Amino acid sequence: MNITIFNEYHPNEHTGKAEKNYPGGIHIALKSIFESEEYDVVTATQEQACNGLTDEILDNTDVLLWWSKNWDNELLNSVADKVVSRIREGMGAVFLHSAKNSKPFLRLTGTTSATAPVSWKEPGESERLFVVSPAHPIAEGIPSGYVIPNEEPYCEYFDIPKPDDIVFLGGFGNGMCIRAGVTFTRGAGKIFFFQPGHDSFPVYNDKVIRRIILNAVNWAKPVAKPAPIAEETKPEQTGFKARVKKLFK
């Protein structure tokens, strides 16, 4: 499976807590989730030409993993349009945390993706993840009620369209709650939004969070089209009727 990991890699990520949590950038931490030989992973960052997402890269991507926060409005519109088009054509997508505000996600949902305002300070709030759809492939192996020690709280109302599935709910220590893991289908493409992942905290180093992301990528991959069924070859007719048929051809 070909995976492309997009991380805007804003200068804020190069210093402070973000750099301490994710040396070299969040995209490097996310890439380390996919160490099996069945995955071929490339990374892209926003300061690269075409925001790192050239036609060649997108054409060879099965699933796009997206993290962004500060430069959403500066993403090239042409790139956003291409990402949306590829997803509708069947490319899978996993949007993480503040990527709910990215141009591709907003264009695919058609809503603001805004959440209710929350007042909070570092070191954040604990978040408990509840599995709402235990039979969903993204929830496989995930314990309900798993606690993330520190996270940026999000709060309902979360302005998104009605999801296909709500896989996870997130409840925070300050009493706030959010639909933390939801799926959508757009055209032939499958989309998963996952709320945890504030860059001040090492959330993507957590083994349970990494399992969720791995599950999500495997779920979102394009479904292979079945091979066409060959027409059955009819056995040659024999006997009296066959001889008569040949005689009067």
Q: Where are the domains of the chain?
A: 2-224
pTM of the model: 0.88
Given pLDDT bands bounded at 50, 70 and 90, which one contains residue 233? Answer: very low
For the chain, what is the mean pLDDT? 90
In this prediction, residues 134-144 reach a mean pLDDT of 97
In this prediction, residues 82-95 reach a mean pLDDT of 97
More confident residue, 30 or 241: 30
Position 165: which residue type? Answer: D
More confident residue, 119 or 61: 61
Q: What is the pLDDT of residue 247?
A: 53
Position 214: which residue type? Answer: L
Q: What is the pLDDT of residue 150?
A: 93
In this prediction, residues 213-219 reach a mean pLDDT of 98
Given the candidates 3.40.50.2300, 3.40.50.880, 3.40.50.20, 3.30.1490.20, the CATH classification of the domain at 2-224 is: 3.40.50.880
Q: What is the pLDDT of residue 243?
A: 57
Residue 181, helix vs strand vs coil: strand
In this prediction, residues 151-175 reach a mean pLDDT of 95
Q: What is the pLDDT of residue 137?
A: 98
In this prediction, residues 232-247 reach a mean pLDDT of 54
Distances (CA, A) of 156 to 88, 172, 178, 180: 28, 12, 5, 10
Structure tokens at 124: 């954040």
Tally of CB atoms within 10 A around 39: 17
